[in-house]
Amino acid sequence: MKIVSWNVNGIRSCLNKGFLESVKKLGADVLCLQETKAQKEQVELELPGYLSYWNSAVRKGYSGTAVFTHEEPLSVTYGIDRAEHDSEGRIITLEFADFFVVNCYTPNARDGLVRLPYRMAWEDALRGYLVGLAEKKGVVYCGDLNVAHKEIDLARPKQNVNNPGFTPQEREKLSALLDSGFADSFRLLYPEKADAYSWWSYRMNARARNVGWRIDYCVVSQNLAAQVKEASIHADILGSDHCPVGVELDASDTR
């Protein structure tokens, strides 16, 4: 099964930038979108062969996630059942026979780290949620996690220490999740691969110069790690300031 995650930075804008052609090229069985910035009824989007599930923020034009899947899930859950974290449309969980897929758009700490305290509370609550799911069956946790985990995951680590997305606190929370029984699928297969990024600023021609950050992930629970066949970063696909990332699991053995 091929699972792809993409922060589209506004689905309505991305639709005008080759989104449908990109979806065909990606060939995902499950496509997870973040930062849709729209209610479902605001978007004319039908992908043949896919079922769709949307979780939009209460605040219009902000945040939001969507999932498109070929296979009908056993169940779909929106949010993590925590009122303080469930108004921004940031989580959709699909349950399949052998594993859960959790689509996530992690809150940004913002300039001046004004939202870092909230981000820390979010991280703790979400880690508890994911660990609870992993006690039942495998978990694929993917999305824009808004953090570059290690220095190798951004082009200019020294210049960005303590900036949003590269604070010690945010990095430690991702470490804590991985230490709780999860693996970063990309680093699982490519532990030393440098210059592999999924987000580039629109400023200073950053994408053309590949001055980027790897802040989009497909994380798997340890009981799925052996089934990871490929982990990909589709830097050639345009339409957003992020590119899609993906993980492919061996469908013959995902238990």
Active site residues: 105, 144
**Which residues, including other chains, have CB under 8 Å from residue 26's CB and lie 6 or more apart?**
4, 234, 237, 244, 246
C-alpha distance from residue 89 to each of 33, 64, 80, 101, 103 (Å)? 11, 4, 10, 16, 10
Q: Which of 208, 143, 138 is nearest to 174 (CA)?
A: 143
Task: Give the orientation angle of helix 168-179 with respect to helix 116-134, to 10 degrees.
Answer: 10
Q: Which of 196, 210, 181, 106 is nearest to 150 (CA)?
A: 196
Which value, to the nearest 10 degrees, does the dihedral of the CA atoms of residues 211, 240, 118, 162 take? 10
**Antiparallel, parallel or unpaired: β 138-144 and 216-221:** antiparallel
- Tell me the residue type at 29: D
> Is residue 121 helix, strand or coil?
helix
